[in-house]
Structure 1
Amino acid sequence: MLATAVESTSAKIIAGSDDLLAEILVRSPVSSLIRFKCVSKRWCSLISGHHFSLLHTFRHRRSKPSGLLFRHKPSLHPDATTAPESDFELVQLNGGVSTAPSLRYFSFIPGQSSVSGTIILQSCNGLLLCCSFPFMAGTRRRYYVVNPTTQQYIELDPPLEDGTSAIFLGVNLAFDPSKSPHYKVVCVQITLRSLYNYRIWIYSSKTRSWRISLESFAAPFDMVFTEGVFWNGAIHWINPYGASLCLDVDRECFRKMPEIPFHQSNLAGKSCRFFGESNGHLHLVEVEGPQTTQFQVFEMKVDYSQWFAKYRVDIGGVVAAFPEMIHSYLDSGDGNYYDFSILGVHHEDDEDESLLVLNIPGKIITYNFKNGNSKELVDFAPAGKDKRLMPQLGCFDIYQYSETLAPV
């Protein structure tokens, strides 16, 4: 009886103190907290609060990706002229697919629909950087930072220059919850000084304002600013011919990067490039043409001293398991062509669980670096359709997804 009375008193003390209740709930994973919001209005208010979100984000700052956001139909490049029409699914890397109705055209953002469309530009530690699709002439493109887990978002008005909105070549999200609960949006704008001269704008969620960070810098004309990768506190860009830039976001200066480990003379024959981050590691993949099944996955050392070959891959077994990858109609007598693209490198501390994510005709599959086994994650080909005629996905169609309560 005494023990029961003590337990009852303790429960009342906890129930009566938001601080004690928060200290207990903050240890729970995001998926549980979303369900806990249904317990009562008080719990919902506590879990939805800005302070609790910051506390939970900091405590769980090393969370790993929950899976991949996969777009049903290939999305369009942000500079395309037709609005996208597609939904997203959350693909678990251990198998299984769960529909994410909250992401249907990002319907929780006012004004977004299958007509206007919302494009994901980047996924970074649980937050998404998105932009609206301006389907009418003269419509201003809108940028959003979105937390798909909490369905919170913020619209970023581009800074004004001479009374008009600045136009960006590339927009990148920098968010590292292990260092700060705040994020930055880094934008590259071409200047009027010359064709190869640029400036950097930075939006800070801490100050809720834009400012010019770097007034002027030079870069190769073909630098792909639309595909920046945030890793190790910096935004990284590369171009098709091996040049690279690395911007330290906190110091607001450029770092030196080692040369990309490929012979310049062979770059024209390369295909299937992948450049991205996974679980705190920066990876780069190049495949030498469509007739090879062997390639290497390179990783950058944290001190930027060199790229090194992390994994050596031979997907010959994958081709045998999925013969739809073979396109004999392209064959001109000099061997088979293999139809695949690299969607991601899923790096785990346990090397037995590290995976390469591939798109083959009509499917998303994984390749285990350790044992070479492959597994189908999702078959998105319509029934009766020849998979070999399915369009390839690309870097605009699949994104890392992490559950987080991080406020935007």
Structure 2
Amino acid sequence: MRFITLDFDFIVLRSCNGLLLCRLAFCSDSYFIYNPITRDFTNLNLGTHPLSRQSYIIDHYLAFDPSVSSPFYKVVSLAVSRDSPLDWVFHVYTIFQPHSPRIGPPVSVSIPFPLAWESDSDRGVYCNGAIHWCNRGDFSVYFDVDAQCLKYYSMPLSNSDEWLKTRIYYFGESGGHLHLILPEPEPLKENQKPSFYDIFELKEDYSGWLLTHRIDMKSIRLQFTHMRSCFNYYIFHKNKSSISVLIVAREGAIINDPVDNTSTKLCDFEIGTSIWIRLAQGRVVPHFDILC
């Protein structure tokens, strides 16, 4: 590890329990782990990916759990064939810490994707030792990093007709909980925006989803001039039993408490600025203080 102030251009790819997986902006093969609190970073010399010269799209994920006493964390690469997008190949790299970082030999796990529909390979979310993907269907899958296998888990809607009319507005992790935001199930008129958004939480045993909160967007939209503005949602756990929802629109951002539906305006955006464009495109990663 090195202690340094980063003064070069880089892209934050993932956030995992206080650590950031980053890539140099102008070099597609240069990755590093960065801790914004201690300002430590570790170069990831992953070597040449065995599938990098073939027709594969490759995404990387960071798997790190500070609650587990361990001298290492893992980087998982997922290669998806351009010609056969249901064919997923995983490579697991173990990075040993803390004093003399070294990378163990990668473990390759070739798994034909077991479902009849495609999934966005770059949309995975790490939570409690597994990387989860979210699909509009009866089931989705997650990759158990330690067991190195894909497993199924059910989705909150089981009717395919319901999914055809439904958009997933948020899928993410906070505080060890996996959350999903879906619009109200009531039928809407053409081009009508939903008035309510339901927040679901995946049960710890993967047996199903709990409907925990509902966001009332009618009062929130009144705080913005452009009533038809698109909104992005991000869930953050304030403590073990309470959450907040960051709601981002083209004009600004607010924090909503879904329990009593109170909102606090955080800031206004100047339309067209880079921060607004990144927030509008979903370029937000969660982070919290950690000294590991």
- Structure 1 unaligned runs (5+)? 1-47, 51-101, 328-337
Partner of 2:279: 393
Alpha-carbon distance, 1:262 to partner: 5.8
Aligned residues: 275
CA distance in 2, matches of 1:163, 1:188: 10
Cα displacement string for residues 84-142 of structure 1 (whole angstroms, at most 9, x for unaligned residues): xxxxxxxxxxxxxxxxxx6xxx41xxxx23xxxx11111111100112233xxxx5432
- When residues 325 and 279 of structure 1 are mapped into structure 2, their CA distance, relative to the original with a 3 A threshold, is farther
CA distance in 2, matches of 1:248, 1:231: 10
Partner of 1:341: 232
Cα displacement string for residues 164-222 of structure 1 (whole angstroms, at most 9, x for unaligned residues): 67865321111111113421111111359944212110111126124134123325563
1:258 and 1:304 in contact (8 A); partners too: yes
Match of 2:179 among 283, 289, 293: 283
Letter in 2 for 1:403: D
1:119 and 1:131 in contact (8 A); partners too: yes
1:196 and 1:218 in contact (8 A); partners too: yes
Alignment of 1:135-214 (within 5 A): 140-160=28-48, 168-181=57-70, 182-190=72-80, 194-206=84-96, 208-214=103-109
Match of 2:261 among 357, 363, 372: 372
Alpha-carbon distance, 1:344 to partner: 2.7
- When residues 347 and 242 of structure 1 are mapped into structure 2, their CA distance, relative to the original with a 3 A threshold, is farther
Alignment of 1:9-408 (within 5 A): 106-107=6-7, 112-113=8-9, 118-134=10-26, 140-160=28-48, 168-181=57-70, 182-190=72-80, 194-206=84-96, 208-219=103-114, 222-241=118-137, 243-261=139-157, 263-271=159-167, 273-287=169-183, 291-320=193-222, 322-327=223-228, 338-346=229-237, 348-351=239-242, 354-381=243-270, 391=277, 393-394=279-280, 396-406=282-292
CA distance in 1, matches of 2:81, 2:224: 49
CA distance in 2, matches of 1:374, 1:262: 32
Cα displacement string for residues 249-289 of structure 1 (whole angstroms, at most 9, x for unaligned residues): 11212233123426422334433521111112110112367
1:278 and 1:347 in contact (8 A); partners too: no
Higher RCO (Cα < 8 Å, 6 or more apart): 1
CA distance in 1, matches of 2:153, 2:22: 28
Between structure 1 and structure 2, the one with the greater Rg is 1
Alpha-carbon distance, 1:371 to partner: 1.0
Alpha-carbon distance, 1:162 to partner: 6.3
CA distance in 2, matches of 1:360, 1:300: 27
CA distance in 2, matches of 1:128, 1:149: 11
CA distance in 2, matches of 1:161, 1:340: 37
SS in 1 for 2:219: helix
Alpha-carbon distance, 1:319 to partner: 1.8
Letter in 2 for 1:239: N
CA distance in 2, matches of 1:396, 1:315: 19
- When residues 258 and 395 of structure 1 are mapped into structure 2, their CA distance, relative to the original with a 3 A threshold, is farther
RMSD value over aligned CA atoms?
3.1
Cα displacement string for residues 352-386 of structure 1 (whole angstroms, at most 9, x for unaligned residues): xx21110022211111111110001222326xx8x
Cα displacement string for residues 303-342 of structure 1 (whole angstroms, at most 9, x for unaligned residues): 011111011221212122x132403xxxxxxxxxx53121
Letter in 2 for 1:405: L
2:232 and 2:282 in contact (8 A); partners too: no
- When residues 396 and 326 of structure 1 are mapped into structure 2, their CA distance, relative to the original with a 3 A threshold, is closer
Normalised to the residue count of structure 2, the TM-score between the two structures is 0.81
1:159 and 1:165 in contact (8 A); partners too: no
CA distance in 2, matches of 1:222, 1:193: 12
Alpha-carbon distance, 1:163 to partner: 10
Normalised to the residue count of structure 1, the TM-score between the two structures is 0.60
SS in 1 for 2:279: coil
